[in-house]
Structure 1
Amino acid sequence: MGEASAVVEQLDMLGHATGVEVEQSSPDEGEKIAEPFDPDDIDVVTRSMTVDLLLSRTESEMIDLQPDFQRRWGVWDARRQSRLIESLLLRIPLPVLYAAEDEDERWEIVDGIQRLSTIARFIKPQIIGGQPLTLTGLEYLHDYEGKDFEGLSSRLKMRLRETELIIHLIRKGTPPEVKFNIFARINTGGMALSAQELRHAITPGKARDLLQTWASLPSFIHATDGSVRPIRMDDRELVLRFAAFYMLGLESYKQPDMDGFLITAMKAINETDETALSVMQFNFVSAMETASKIFGHDAFRKRFEKDAARLPINKAVFEALSVSLARLTHAQLATLEQRAEALRHGFMALCHDRSFESAISQGTGDIRKVNRRFSAISDLIAGVLADA
């Protein structure tokens, strides 16, 4: 019997629990590139643009200041937003911004959305549908306390409009995998994007809408007991993990690079016809409904003791169990439901197995561990069906 590793629940940028277990990395995980890419594929340009030009580009919808990250400009409170405007008035340079360019040359702001949104809210709030910002909690410019943009002198208004910001733009010809690696390396701010938010930013197309739609399905919400908070797109990542292994197959996972594999899956969804996606959705829903009936509130979570406290959703368990269930026939799913106790008991025994527990807890992107958890759950299900 292996000892259970410590389970830590993931937190959002405000310190709230997301309902998903943190995937613990191996010591060297994240420091290596699974498959080297050609440096010539990197196309990054640096641009210096005035605030006026950036707001104009935003107003014409060529910059998206409210991308679907669930990271609205309201994450910053009025005091923090006011301090940023104060910095501009004092001519203090802001950190550089990073953006990804799509095929239509629109810019998705990946690092700096809070800064740009704050500036827009103060100078031209209508373009982001926000309430005008009134300065509060200023550190030096106390004479401007309580003022909005219109309350400033013409000289200060012009100073703000002509302020130049530096933007590093990842051009549209750069492969998504390369974009992800670049952004992952610079994504170290206090409110850094999650991996799924990065994937969302650099991979446009219908996959974005599909992940959101499936994560909103009653069957998914019920199976996860409504415990996965969407604020960091953890719910969409769970759906994507299912889609990746269901569509591409376990045999396609040939590099220890889960992020790259999931980006490939998003591109595959974009290229798949609606009929095939409908079939996959039907099987996804069947898997969710069966998992709910068999495991109840404990679906997709580690389970070591029958009466132990419930643990968060485990991403590795979710992908392996959901895909395994989705590949079964209606009759096989019905049989599993009848033998629910045997399957629950078998899964609990697996969680006490050292190699399986490791495969769903630490370094889960390792090829051997991916194969281990899929084969273990597949063998468990096959055994329960054979004994029926």
Structure 2
Amino acid sequence: MPLEQEVLEGRQEIHTDAYSMSIGEIVNLYRDGELEIHPEFQREFRWKLSQKSRLIESILLGIPLPSIFVAQRNDGVWDVVDGLQRISTILSFMGELLDESGCKVEQLVLEKTPYLPSLEGVSWDNGMPDDLKRAFKREKFDVKIIKKESDENAKFELFQRLNTGGAGLSEQEVRNCLLLMVNRKSYEWLKERSKNENFINCLNLTDRLIDEKYEMELVLRFICIVKYDKSAPIDDEDMGPFLTTQMKRLMVDNDFAFENETKLFDTTFNILARLKGEDAFRRYSQPKQKHEGQFSVSLFECISAGVAFAIQQGQTEVEISSKLSTLVVTLADNPNFNEATKHGMRGINRLPKLVDLARELFR
């Protein structure tokens, strides 16, 4: 296809508009429920107080700010695609930000900044002069609108491009936002499974991984592996894009069998938690005769998938537990496992090998 035709078709997938809007207008949209920043992803805790204070300083000084991107839903509400941290900081400073329960968050109290040291201890209702409040509300943002007529895949792509890399969202947080915007039920299911007590008891994650919602990624990995179809070609070059593609394929449509998938997930991790707990996905040292080290995603992929396959085959918990008790202490020395997980092996290439191994070990 000629380049000109590709460009033309690509442009037809995304319909955009743009407005220059004052902070006051943006706040009014938020108050009226016409601008959704999703409390689940405000993530203002990721911004230090110094960063928040510098943003307010920039606005007061009239320094131009980057554009905000929003996606228009079918109901006309705007979902913030990029600029969430800036908007949530502004709302927090003005005392308008709501938490997940709909209650107002405590007003942001600023610290001194390089150009405005007198901001130390200032909040909207304490120390902010009325004339500066008026000027603050009149400052403007350029708002770029991805209209509802745009292709959903194009919205996914744009959101990923704007929110990955640097100090932005983790890959799973991006997926969570995407899923929340297009299929809240699937997002809530993923979130609920990630809180399953047996599932959590099998993991040994660092605070950083928990902070980045890695446990939700592991739920998604489990679903993608269990439903992996070797006959379907993989177009993605890495595991991250693959998980995003599969999430869209499996969980965005209304065909996802929530009840069946919940039963499979819960049964799998009930067995794993009861037998091995936090050692389920840690390597076993034969010389030391004990599990050691941190959580291994390769062990997670192979063992959890194997247990799920066995459940789907109708094996009893006694049969599965018998195989599992041996496997958790021998898998790390399995030559096929070591070949699939050797240094330099990309996750996307590891996946089919581990799926085959899991099926074989729990046959």
TM-score range, shorter chain: 0.7 to 0.9
CA contact (8 A) 1:343 1:381 kept: no
Provide closer, same or farther for how the CA distance between residues 171 and 234 of structure 1 changes in structure 2, counting only shifts above 3 A.
Answer: farther
1:192 is the counterpart of 2:172:
no
CA contact (8 A) 2:302 2:357 kept: no
Q: 2:358 aligns with which of 357, 377, 382?
A: 377
Normalised TM-score (structure 1): 0.75
Return 227-236 or 91-100, whichever deviates more: 227-236
Alignment of 1:266-277 (within 5 A): 266=248, 268-272=250-254, 276-277=257-258
1:68 lines up with 2:40 in the alignment? yes
Asked if the contact 1:52/1:161 (under 8 Å) is kept, the reply is: yes
Q: Distance in 1 between matches of 2:98 and 2:55?
A: 19
1:114 maps to a residue whose letter is Q
- Residue pair 2:284, 2:329 contacting (<8 A) in 1 also: no
Q: For residue 117 of structure 2, what is the aligned residue in structure 1?
A: 142
Shift of the alpha carbon at 1:180? Answer: 3.3
SS in 2 for 1:166: strand
Which of 218, 228, 237 is residue 238 of structure 1 equivalent to? 218
Count of residue pairs the alignment pairs up: 341
2:3 aligned residue = none
Which structure has the higher relative contact order (CA within 8 Å, separation 6+)? Answer: 1
Pair 1:54-2:26 in alignment: yes
Q: What residue in structure 1 maps to residue 53 of structure 2?
A: 82
The one-character-per-residue Cα deviations of 1:122-166 (angstroms, maximum 9, x if unpaired) are 224355522222332122223444333344334322221111112
Tell whether the 8 Å contact from 1:244 to 1:262 is kept in structure 2 after alignment: no
Q: 1:307 to 1:364 in 2, by over 3 A?
A: same
Question: How far is the alpha carbon of 1:51 from its aligned partner?
Answer: 0.6
Distance 2:159 2:97 in 1: 30
Aligned to 2:68: 97
Paired residue for 2:347? 364
**Counterpart selection for 2:79 from 101, 108, 111:** 108
> Which region of structure 1 is more displaced relative to structure 2, 71-80 or 46-55?
71-80
Q: Distance in 1 between matches of 2:329 and 2:316?
A: 18
Partner of 2:320: 336
For 1:101, the aligned partner's letter is Q
User: Equivalent residue of 2:347, what SS?
Assistant: coil
Aligned mate of 1:133, from 105, 108, 112: 108
Distance 1:270 1:65, change over 3 A: closer
TM-score normalised to the size of structure 2?
0.80
Query: Which residue is equivalent to 2:4?
Result: none
Letter in 2 for 1:202: L
SS, match of residue 48 in structure 1: strand
Could you tell me how far 1:41 is from its partner in structure 2?
1.7
Cα offsets for 1:12-49 (capped at 9, x unmatched):
xxxxxxxxxxxxxxxxxxxxxxxx99513233444322
CA contact (8 A) 1:248 1:265 kept: no
Q: 1:298 to 1:178 in 2, by over 3 A?
A: farther
Quick one: distance in 2 between partners of 1:169 and 1:74? 26
Identical pairs, percent: 23
Is there any run of 5+ residues in structure 2 with no aligned partner, and where?
1-6
CA–CA distance in 2 between the matches of 1:247 and 1:341? 25
Q: 1:183 aligns with which of 155, 159, 164?
A: 159
Give CA-to-partner distance per residue, 1:167-216, whole Å, 9 cap, x none.
33333344444333333333356531112221222233211100011111
User: Which region of structure 1 is more displaced relative to structure 2, 152-161 or 301-310?
Assistant: 301-310
Question: Which of the numbers 301, 309, 331 marks the counterpart of 2:292?
Answer: 309
The verdict on how the C-alpha distance between 1:172 and 1:238 changes in structure 2, with shifts beyond 3 A counting, is farther
Deviations 1:288-343 (A, max 9, x none): 122334544232345565546322241x5434432331122453542232244431
| Aligned residues of 1:46 and 1:167 also touching (Cα < 8 A) | yes
- Deviation of 1:249 after TM superposition, in Å, equals 3.9
Q: 1:174 to 1:252 in 2, by over 3 A?
A: farther
Describe the shift of the 1:299–1:230 C-alpha distance in structure 2 as closer, same or farther (beyond 3 A): same
Aligned twin of 2:262: 281
Determine whether 1:217 maps to 2:217.
no
Is the Cα–Cα contact under 8 Å of residues 27 and 91 in structure 2 kept in the other structure? Answer: yes
In structure 2, C-alpha distance between the alignment counterparts of 1:201 and 1:131, rounded to whole Å? 24
Amino acid in the other structure paired with 2:145: L
SS at match of 1:47: strand
What amino acid is aligned across from residue 250 of structure 2 in structure 1? A
CA contact (8 A) 1:364 1:370 kept: yes
Segment drifting more, 320-329 vs 242-251: 242-251
Question: Any unmatched runs of 5+ in structure 1?
Answer: 1-35, 383-388
CA separation in 2, counterparts of 1:272 and 1:97? 31
Name the aligned partner's letter for residue 216 of structure 1.
Answer: K
SS at match of 2:80: strand
Q: 1:267 to 1:299 in 2, by over 3 A?
A: same
Say which of 284, 291, 296 aligns to 2:272: 291
Whole-Å separation in 1 of the counterparts to 2:87 and 2:342: 42
Q: Aligned with 1:379: secondary structure?
A: helix
8 Å CA contact 2:73, 2:148 repeated in 1 = yes
Q: Residue deviations 1:74-130, cap 9 Å, x none?
A: 333333322211111111112233333333233332432221111112224355522
Indicate conservation of the 8 Å contact 2:310/2:362, yes or no. Answer: no
Inter-partner Cα distance in structure 2 for 1:92 and 1:189: 24
Correspondences of 1:311-326 after superposition (within 5 Å): 311-314=294-297, 316-326=298-308
Equivalent residue of 1:98, what SS? strand
